[in-house]
Amino acid sequence: MLRFMKHPSGAFQSIVGRLARQVEWGDCDPAGIIFYPTYFRWMDAATWAFLEGVGYSAKRMRAEQLAMPLVSAQCEFLAPAEQGERCEVRSRIARFGGKSFVVSHEIVRGDGAALAQGTETRVWGRFSGGPGTPIKGQAISDEIKALFRVR
Amino acid sequence: MLRFMKHPSGAFQSIVGRLARQVEWGDCDPAGIIFYPTYFRWMDAATWAFLEGVGYSAKRMRAEQLAMPLVSAQCEFLAPAEQGERCEVRSRIARFGGKSFVVSHEIVRGDGAALAQGTETRVWGRFSGGPGTPIKGQAISDEIKALFRVR
Amino acid sequence: MLRFMKHPSGAFQSIVGRLARQVEWGDCDPAGIIFYPTYFRWMDAATWAFLEGVGYSAKRMRAEQLAMPLVSAQCEFLAPAEQGERCEVRSRIARFGGKSFVVSHEIVRGDGAALAQGTETRVWGRFSGGPGTPIKGQAISDEIKALFRVR
Amino acid sequence: MLRFMKHPSGAFQSIVGRLARQVEWGDCDPAGIIFYPTYFRWMDAATWAFLEGVGYSAKRMRAEQLAMPLVSAQCEFLAPAEQGERCEVRSRIARFGGKSFVVSHEIVRGDGAALAQGTETRVWGRFSGGPGTPIKGQAISDEIKALFRVR
């Protein structure tokens, strides 16, 4: 479900994670189109899949007590999506800060139409004492940054 | 949001927990009625509220590393519900086993119409080493059972 | 995401629909395992995918104003699932009634472990006047039944 | 669940809608804190409740075939929230455009701590032919604006 391609340009030359989604009955609302928090669910899932693609699977994140809590999130909704439509969430690292990073996401329908575009700003952190304990921000190493850079 | 009344009859004479819900836009599907997993979300929330009402708040559950994982759940859907309708989830202990218990739930609309009725079978358990670690079943004490019995 | 295989035995010799799922961060709860209503979301999605596989896509369902509201649903939870685990929902028609049908679902982890098994009882219906209007049960034709029968 | 108070200042002198929420088990993720799309679910529910408070209930919205699709949404997450915490979503009209409007939301915990603050930009629209049909933007009348203005 996750492949990579080169990103044409940008401050950080990020690889692109791709996550396939199909709009489901339960993702939609009485207007017959996607309920907007669904896009944020997809963006969250896409970020986790993006990390899995570079070696940071959920299992490894748990084992190393890593977490990536949100600072902020935003999304623009460009076109409605109906149940059954096949989409792809395309994720890139837009920026790396010292302990934080920004992931940009494009949600594109099978026919190429852009449905939504959003960003998540997250902290790279570690649970101080296992899940449920406070999360402390960690410096993002050059090794981690390199995993997301186009080569 | 939680009050109690006497239960007319039954094997275990349970008090009744009451949780108010209003059907939300995001709870509904393109048919314009409640998306059925929503009822299970409500039943889960109602069980937690029921426990809070007898002294076992989420905070206490966390502090004592208690959990109540599901063995099974079922629900019958009796009438559709539309956005905006005000409902009540009425919860009772249907049965106490050694380490498990059954919660029955009735979902009733403001005008008294029954919308759904379901049950959850749960284990009373404790995390062996904090959240994320395996849960071990615990004997349900007479003190706990007494909290739910009509006096 | 949907392939078919023969079903060994049973009253109705149903083909099997298969829907791939990966347990997501947002599918899980503070115990670090899947939040149980997620399984019902998956079962709902699996039924829609099962229908799409035999020619009844969401688009066609909308065009023909077809719906399949729930009568009841139940699920047994056999083993916990953690974020990142890859699963498959295997769906079969357990029974066809006059206007209703029962879909059975097995949720199996990548290593073959059974995680959950459930059933949905649904009515085959039609909106009387477009989405949001009451749904009327329709006789399930032999043509429709044949689509799900092992040949 | 919805009361009003005066807003100290701002371009549009908006009344304030208030929606009570308790963080539920199913709203949280394996980190033991609220899963961020939950805040967007709450914001959506708060906007609907805000409208209900001024006379535009879900029932009326359906009867008049009104809708309010999203243009964009964003949220800053200021502090984590755990299961059981009682919160309030405080909603104001930040701005009225010709056919669009911006709702700002503050999510505040019972002890007064700010948990999150976000905005939704929405179109005031009407289904061209019932739910499931395209939504057309409508001019927001002075009568509607007046419903939200502090008097």
Q: What is the mean pLDDT of residues B36-57?
A: 98
Q: Is the pLDDT of residue C122 over 60?
A: yes
Collect all residues with Cβ–Cβ distance below 8 Å to A63 and sequence separation of at least 6.
Answer: none
**Residues in chain C whose Cβ is within 8 Å of chain A:** 1, 22, 24-26, 30, 32, 41, 44-45, 48-49, 52, 57-59, 62, 82-84, 131-132
Give the tens place of pLDDT for each residue, B88-144.
999 999 999 999 999 999 999 999 999 999 999 999 999 988 777 889 999 999 999
**Residues in chain C whose Cβ is within 8 Å of chain B:** 30-33, 35-38, 40-41, 44, 62, 67, 69-77, 80, 127, 131-132, 135
- Do residue A74 and residue D69 have CB atoms under 8 angstroms apart? no
What is the model's pLDDT at position B106?
98
- Angle, in degrees to the nearest 10, between helices D37-53 and A37-53: 170
- C60: phi > 0 → left, psi -120 to 50 → alpha, else beta; which? alpha
Q: Is the pLDDT of residue B66 over 90?
A: yes
- Do residue C30 and residue D83 have CB atoms under 8 angstroms apart? yes
What is the model's pLDDT at position C5?
44
Nearest to A68 by CA among D38, D74, C27, D36: D36
pLDDT per residue, tens digit, chain D (151 aa), is 344 444 444 579 999 999 999 999 999 999 999 999 999 999 999 999 999 999 999 999 999 999 999 999 999 999 999 999 999 999 999 999 999 999 999 999 999 999 999 999 999 999 988 777 889 999 999 999 999 999 8
Tokens (6 digits) for D90: 């405080």
* A89 three-state secondary structure: strand
- The model carries a pTM of 0.93
Strand order in the sheet with D125-127: D66-67, D125-127, D135-137
Give the tens place of pLDDT for each residue, A23-50.
999 999 999 999 999 999 999 999 999 9
* Closest-CA distance of chain D to residue B68, Å: 11
Residues paired with D114 in a beta bridge: D108
Confidence of residue A2 (pLDDT cuts 50, 70, 90): very low
What is the model's pLDDT at position A1?
37
What is the model's pLDDT at position A94?
97
Tokens (6 digits) for C5: 């295989």
- A96 within 8 A of A124, measured Cβ to Cβ: no
- Do residue A84 and residue C24 have CB atoms under 8 angstroms apart? no
What is the distance, to the nearest Å, from the Cα of residue C88 to the centroid of all Cα atoms in its chain?
A: 12
What is the model's pLDDT at position C83?
97
What is the model's pLDDT at position D90?
98
Residues in D touching A63 (Cβ below 8 Å): none
What is the distance, to the nearest Å, from the Cα of residue C111 to the centroid of all Cα atoms in its chain?
A: 21
Q: Is the pLDDT of residue A3 over 50?
A: no
Residue given tokens 């033991």 in the structure block: D32
Measure the CA–CA gap between C45 and C39, rounded to whole angstroms: 10
Measure the CA–CA gap between A134 and A114, rounded to whole angstroms: 37
What is the model's pLDDT at position C130?
76
What is the model's pLDDT at position D84?
98
Measure the CA–CA gap between D91 and D50, rounded to whole angstroms: 7
Q: What is the DSSP letter of B112?
A: S
Q: What is the DSSP letter of D25?
A: G
* Closest-CA distance of chain C to residue B151, Å: 33
Nearest to B73 by CA among B48, B37, B26: B37
* Closest-CA distance of chain C to residue B3, Å: 25
Give the tens place of pLDDT for each residue, A81-116.
999 999 999 999 999 999 999 999 999 999 999 999
What is the model's pLDDT at position C133?
85
What is the model's pLDDT at position D6?
45
- B149 within 8 A of B142, measured Cβ to Cβ: no
Q: What is the mean pLDDT of residues A117-146?
A: 93
Cα angle: B114, vertex B117, B118; to 5 degrees: 170
Residues in C touching D132 (Cβ below 8 Å): 62, 130-132
Measure the CA–CA gap between D24 and D66, rounded to whole angstroms: 31
Cα angle: D6, vertex D11, D17; to 5 degrees: 35
- A54 within 8 A of A148, measured Cβ to Cβ: yes
